[in-house]
Amino acid sequence: MTFINYASREINCKIVYYGPGLGGKTTNLNYIYQKIHPANKGRMVSLATDTERTLFFDFLPLELGLINGFKIRFHLYTVPGQIFYDASRKLILKGVDGVVFVADSQAERFDANIESLSNLHEHLHEHGYDFATIPYVLQFNKRDLPNISPFEDLKKELWKKNEPIFEAIASRGVGVFDSLKDVTRQMLNGLRKR
Amino acid sequence: METGDLVIYPGEFAEIRVILAQLATEARAKLVFLVDRNGQPIASHGDNGSVDTTSLSSLAAGNVAATEGLAKLLGEREFSVLFHEGERDNIHFSIVAHRAILVVIFDHSTPVGLVRLRVRKASVQFEDVFQRIAARFQKELQPTGVISDYPFPEITDDDIDRLFSE
């Protein structure tokens, strides 16, 4: 749900990073937080457990600049990836404008990716979204690890609607901004067409 | 744009700010603000110098959403009011017009009963404003579901690159 304020000339969008537990959603946000100029970002809020697993969400507000005289503000959220936090995951998707699905490329997480993607479909549907039209990118993370599934195998199972795929190493920032930029482009263009 | 989107024009924004200012005075609050249910701050009034209202908005929405989840598990439609008491300050959340959260921060010199009373009055006023916003939004939607004066007629890749290069 986008919020356009003509009084303060602002447009506010919500982007959610979704995916299986320990796949690198929070790492994506951490990298963005480190790289964005301090003037353009707010405080990053992490509601995490003692062992730094996301409990409810991570939240990063960004104020990027102007397009056509409107200030563009993004709220980036991650969901908790662990299976038993399903109710929290669903809450965070409410009002979403764009989704980045962060898949874990490691072979042993192959099924966890499929399960998480099906969970995303289910929750979007419950919130009344059509997966076919929502701004969406697919990120294959951890491409630097030795035990990863081949690109084509991941694509075969996870690529659903001709969405762009980005190979990423989120800990080093590879693919992080490419994913964010693409979902932003889809979101701002898509708003008009919806 | 979806009909669930929120578009506010200057006149409506001014009305919201007037209601917030009146509430802040009447409830003797330090800070009052209105947040969209998804965590986007809409407007605020009061001393927010030391408060990060963006983070507060996101957490308020998360808090209300989690409480709503609890309500559903218990078979309630919603718990429309939330109140947290601190050593110095208190915080009062209420849902207004089904789509926004009204947050009031006040200290112990103000009784919570007064805040509740004034919040009820402000909620009725907000209800009226949001009903008009929704009605206007419906009217502006063209038959194709597209808003005619959407501020971004065409976004290029250069626009996006510029956004991230600043």
The CATH number of residue A40's host domain is 3.40.50.300
The ipTM value here is: 0.77
3-class SS string, B52-94: CHHHHHHHHHHHHHHHHHHHHHCCCCCCCEEEEECCCEEEEEE
- Interface check B160 vs A, CB under 8 A: yes
> Residues 68..107 of A with a Cβ closer than 8 Å to B: which?
68-70, 72, 75, 87-88, 91-92, 94-95
pLDDT grade for B114, boundaries at 50, 70 and 90: very high
Contact yes or no for B42 and A5 at CB 8 A? yes
| In-domain check, residue B125 | yes
Q: Which domain holds residue A61?
A: 3-193
Looking at the complex, report in whole angstroms how far the Cα of residue A117 sits from the nearest Cα belonging to chain B. 22
Question: Measured between alpha carbons, how far is B36 from B43 in angstroms, rounded to an integer?
Answer: 10
Q: Looking at the 3D structure of chain B, how many domains does it have? A: 1
Interface check B13 vs A, CB under 8 A? yes
Whether residue B5 lies inside any domain: the answer is no
Given a cut of 60, whether residue B146 has pLDDT beyond it is no
Give the per-residue pLDDT at B3.
44
CATH code (residue B60): 3.30.450.30
Low-confidence ranges of chain A (pLDDT < 70): 191-194
**Residue B2 placed within a domain:** no
Query: Taking residues B106-119, what's their average pLDDT?
Result: 94
Mean pLDDT of chain B: 86
B50 falls within a domain? yes
Q: How far is CA A36 from CA A49, A64, A65, B119, in A?
A: 26, 9, 12, 38
The residue segments making up the domain with residue B118 are: 10-165
Please tell me the number of Cα atoms within 13 Å of A111 on its side-chain side: 2
**Min CA distance, A192 vs chain B (Å)?**
6
Residue B166 has pLDDT above 70, yes or no: no
Residue B115 lies in a domain: yes
Closest alpha carbon to B165 in A66, A102, A75, A70:
A66
B152 reaches A (C-beta below 8 A): yes
